[in-house]
Chain A
Amino acid sequence: MTAAVLFENVSRHFGTVKAVDAVDLEIAAGEFFAMLGPSGSGKTTCLRLMAGFEQPTGGHIEIFGETAEGVPPYRRSVNTVFQDYALFPHLSILDNVAYGLMVKGIGRQERHRAAEDALAMVKLPGYGQRRPGQLSGGQRQRVALARALVNKPKVLLLDEPLGALDLKLREQMQEELKSLQKSLGITFVFVTHDQGEALSMADRIAVFNDGKIQQLGTPEDIYQRPQTRFVADFVGSSNILSSAICARLGVPAAAASLRPEAIAIGTSWAEQLTLPGTVTARSFLGAVNRVSVDCDGEKIIVASPAAMPVPDIGAQVQLAFSRNDLHLMEAA
């Protein structure tokens, strides 16, 4: 089966800055794919390479088996939902949504009917006569989505689509995007710096840093088994245990990652590993208490369920965790 998007050794350099550096990537058709990373990590440039706004300085890109380099954006069957929506301020909502069909020469009546349907799909029926300036951020987001989807793209690209929305709306849109993608069967590629968003929505995630993919895998893979220190730190802020601590635990390794929520305070079973330490700080975060524990000069963060008792600052505690939750890393 042909890949929806294929990157072979793709680079995009701006002068001496390597925005994207020798990236290999294969996105399957019908997949919900996330590109996760901090700003400046190359994820957005990758998206722009797919859309055609940027041309690679090296390597080869295919979209559904067709060579993409040198092809302008208007001759690609991909559509983009822009970060700040990029709605046309001088056109009505209906004409915004119908824009793609209009430039393809589809008659007014037909394209307006299709645009109405697309607006109904994103739950904005009857908003066609308004202007972008009259809508809220969440509504504009939906219009941008309808405007892209009405063209029935083979790949939908979403650039930080939920970045400008408030938390409640973002959670709601996450679910809606996910179910929309399932029902339409279109390949979604979305860029985000929010690891929670990537973990909850994507089938697979590519974690970017410094223009390279650090790790590519399912959300469980990325979260449970980070392969590099960067991934462990960026996705859910894992504890990184040094080789000294690893040696004390009897697991020789250069470094190991340990999730804060995999650690229990005080209680331990026979098979578990334990570490003594001193509580240095604690804060209540609602569902959990975040406790900082000092173990021989290394700070370890514990996410302790709020129902459990919290030790006082300065208390001596035993940290207990399962060997299976400790993920060894090749290099630091």
Chain B
Amino acid sequence: MTLAATQTILPNRPRLTGRISDFLWKHPHVLLAVLLGPPILWLGIIYLGSLFALLLQSFFSIDDFSGLINYEFTLATYKQLLSDANFDIIVRTVLMAATVTLFSALIAFPIAYYAARYARGKWKAVFYLGVMLPLWSSYLVKIYAWKLILAKEGILTWAFTKLNLLWLLDGWLSLPVIGGNSLSVSYTGTFLVFVYVWMPFMILPIQAALERVPANLIEASSDLGGTPQQTFRHVLFPLALPGIVAGSIFTFSLTLGDYIIPQIVGSSRLFIGQAVYAQQGTAGNIPLAAAFTVVPIVIMGLYLWMAKRMGAFDAL
């Protein structure tokens, strides 16, 4: 009996590392704290803390004469944010982000659907490569490349001319608001580049969501009398919705915050990102820059809240 006991239960390990490992095995919550502590501190203090510090700035104001920040709580900056000129920037950016998101989803869905349902083996690799490859190259290079493509002397104008469709391009450019001298200085151009640059962020979440939809749910819908259109509306779309929402969070928020694309390809009218850049840089108005930064955060919060209310996450 005693012999068996001494044989089966080993004595405590003498080395320090052994004792530590025994201690952590007996106290798994300590191990969890050791593992999670540093990243949580990083996330809490450096990541969220800096953001919070920035947001705090939006409740200060700037002294118009001296250009110095007045560290007293005030809503004056927000009043300034909602002035006509600044509010225009917000509306313009939100409209652009919404349009970019909508079209990204429309283009991404069939691609993601093909990848999730039909692509196998080699074609799956081709899909991932095709979607990811643009992400591996420099963001600035891509945007300048697009500026060249969209310029008046660019390949697009050339192609339209060769196809005798220049009238179509000119007709589009003569439209108010979305038109302009050439595509590279119009909202249409900005829109095209946004859609191009953010597309992978829409395709991948939708593809992941569709991949998780069991094929037999599609068969079940069909079996119960659902036409392909009804199956899409009542089964496929609701189940893909979390993926579409996830993708739209990327395209929407990235468009809301971007300041480089509208600066290189587009008209001189500002977007939120450019306003933040200008206010904190040349203008030195940190409070107003901070207030502009709050706008995308609030809009995204509202968007997610609405998506949740509409049941976008029910299938998760």
Flag the segment in A79-87, A218-226, A296-304 that touches B: A79-87
With A82-B220, A90-B239 known as contacts, the answer to whether A100 contacts B315 (CB < 8 A) is: no
Q: Given A90-B238, A102-B234: A80 and B223 within 8 A (CB)?
A: yes
Q: How far does the alpha carbon of A75 sit from the alpha carbon of B214 in the complex, in Å?
A: 22
For chains A and B in complex, what number of residue pairs have CB atoms within 8 angstroms?
A: 66
Interface pair B219/A53, CB less than 8 Å apart: yes
Residue of A nearest to B314 (CB): A90
Verify if B226 is at the interface (C-beta below 8 Å from A). yes
Do residues A89 and B224 form an inter-chain contact, with CB atoms below 8 A?
no
Interface size class of B (residues with CB under 8 A): 20 to 34
Task: Tell yes or no: A147 within 8 A of B by CB.
Answer: yes
Of the candidates A52, A72, A90, A99, the one whose C-beta lies within 8 Å of that of B224 is A99
B214, B222, B230, B314: the one within 8 Å of A73 (CB) = B222
- Complex CA–CA separation, A80 to B223 (angstroms): 7
Q: Measured between alpha carbons, how far is A186 from B239 in the docked complex, in Å?
A: 33
Q: B residues within 8 A CB of A82?
A: 216, 219-220
In this assembly, does B121 line the interface, its C-beta being within 8 Å of a C-beta of chain A? Answer: no
In the complex, what distance in Å separates the CA atom of A65 from the CA atom of B118? 34
- How far apart sit A89 and B241, CA to CA, in the bound complex (Å)? 13
What string of 1s and 0s marks CB contacts (under 8 Å) between B230-248 and chain A? 1000110011000000000
Shortest CB-to-CB span from A73 to chain B, Å, is 4
Contact at B226–A99, with CB atoms within 8 Å?
Answer: yes
Given A82-B216, A103-B230, does the pair A72, B222 have CB atoms closer than 8 Å?
yes
Q: Is A88 an interface residue (CB 8 A)?
A: yes
- Any B CB within 8 A of the CB of A168: no
Query: B220 touches which one: A78, A80, A102 (CB < 8 A)?
Result: A80
A241 at the interface (CB under 8 A from B): no
CA–CA, A87 and B220, complex, Å: 8
Map CB proximity to A onto B272-316 as digits: 1 under 8 Å, 0 otherwise.
Answer: 000000000000000000000000000000000000000100110
- In the bound complex, residues from chain B placing their C-beta under 8 Å from that of A90 are 238-239, 311, 314-315
Cβ–Cβ < 8 Å partners of A209 in chain B? none
| Residues of chain B from 208 to 263 with CB closer than 8 A to chain A in the complex | 214, 216-217, 219-227, 230, 234-235, 238-239
Q: How far is the CA of A148 from the CA of B221 in the complex (A)?
A: 11
Given A78, A88, A100, A148, which contacts B217 in the complex, CB threshold below 8 Å? Answer: A88
Whether A51 and B239, one on each chain, are in contact in the complex, defined by CB atoms closer than 8 angstroms, is no
CB-CB under 8 A for A99 and B219, given A90-B239, A104-B225, A147-B224: no
The answer on a CB contact under 8 Å between B219 and A86 is yes
Q: Check A100/B225 contact, CB under 8 A, given A90-B238, A90-B239, A90-B314.
A: yes
In the complex formed, the residue of B with least CB distance to A84 is: B216
Chain B positions within 8 Å of A87 at CB level? 220
Q: Which residue of A lies closest to B238 (CB)?
A: A90
Q: How far is the CB of B277 from chain A (nearest CB, A)?
A: 42
Report Cα–Cα, A79/B225, bound state, in Å. 9
Closest chain-B Cβ to A163's Cβ sits at a distance in Å of 14
Among B222, B224, B225, B226, residue most surrounded by chain A Cβ atoms (within 10 Å): B224
A99 to B230, CA, bound (A): 11
Minimum distance in angstroms from A322 CB to a CB of chain B: 48
A79 touching B224, Cβ below 8 Å: yes
**For B217, what are the chain A residues with a Cβ–Cβ distance below 8 Å?**
86, 88
> In the complex, which residues 106-140 of chain A have their Cβ closer than 8 Å to any Cβ of chain B?
none
Q: Across the interface, do A99 and B223 meet the contact criterion of CB distance under 8 Å?
A: no
Residue of A78, A79, A90, A99 with most chain B CB atoms under a 10 A cut-off: A90
Bound form: Cα–Cα A73–B221 in Å: 9
Q: Evaluate contact between A74 and B226: CB separation under 8 angstroms.
A: yes
Q: Give the chain A neighbours of B224 by CB distance below 8 A.
A: 74, 79, 99-100, 103, 147-148, 151
Quick one: CB contact mask for B167-203 with A, threshold 8 Å, 1 for yes?
0000000000000000000000000000000000000
* Chain B, Cβ-Cβ closest to A78: B223
A74 is contacted by which of B214, B225, B238, B315 (Cβ under 8 Å)? B225
Q: How far is the CA of A53 from the CA of B219 in the complex (A)?
A: 7
A13, B234: Cα distance in complex, Å: 32
The docked-state distance in angstroms from the alpha carbon of A73 to that of B220 is 9
Q: What residues of chain A lie closer than 8 Å to B216, measured between beta carbons?
A: 82, 84, 86
Q: With A and B bound together, what is the CA distance between A51 and B238 in angstroms?
A: 25
Find the residue from B214, B217, B223 having the highest chain A CB count within 10 A. B223
List, in ascending order, chain A residues with CB within 8 A of B225's CB: 74-75, 100, 103-104, 151
Whether B239 contacts A103 by the Cβ 8 Å rule is no
Contacts of B220 in A (CB 8 A): 80, 82, 86-88
Cα–Cα distance between A84 and B239 once the two chains are bound (Å):
18
The residue in chain A whose Cβ has the minimal distance to the Cβ of B218 is A86
List chain B residues, Cβ under 8 A from A84. Answer: 214, 216
Q: Complex: how many Å from CA A53 to CA B231?
A: 14
Q: A86-B214, A88-B220, A89-B315 are in contact. Are A74 and B234 (CB under 8 A)?
A: no
CA distance A73 to B222 in the complex (A): 6
Give 23 pairs: A residue, B residue, CB < 8 Å, sorted on A: A52-B223, A53-B219, A53-B222, A53-B223, A74-B224, A74-B225, A74-B227, A78-B223, A80-B223, A86-B217, A87-B220, A88-B220, A88-B235, A89-B239, A90-B238, A90-B311, A99-B224, A100-B225, A103-B225, A103-B226, A103-B227, A103-B230, A148-B223
B: which residues have CB within 8 A of A? 214, 216-217, 219-227, 230, 234-235, 238-239, 311, 314-315
Q: 4 closest pairs, A vs B, by CB?
A: A100-B224, A86-B220, A90-B315, A86-B216
**Besides A51-B219, A89-B315, A103-B227, 20 other A-B contacts (C-beta < 8 A):** A51-B223, A53-B219, A74-B223, A74-B224, A75-B225, A79-B223, A84-B214, A86-B214, A86-B216, A86-B217, A86-B219, A88-B220, A90-B239, A90-B314, A99-B226, A100-B224, A103-B226, A104-B225, A147-B224, A148-B224
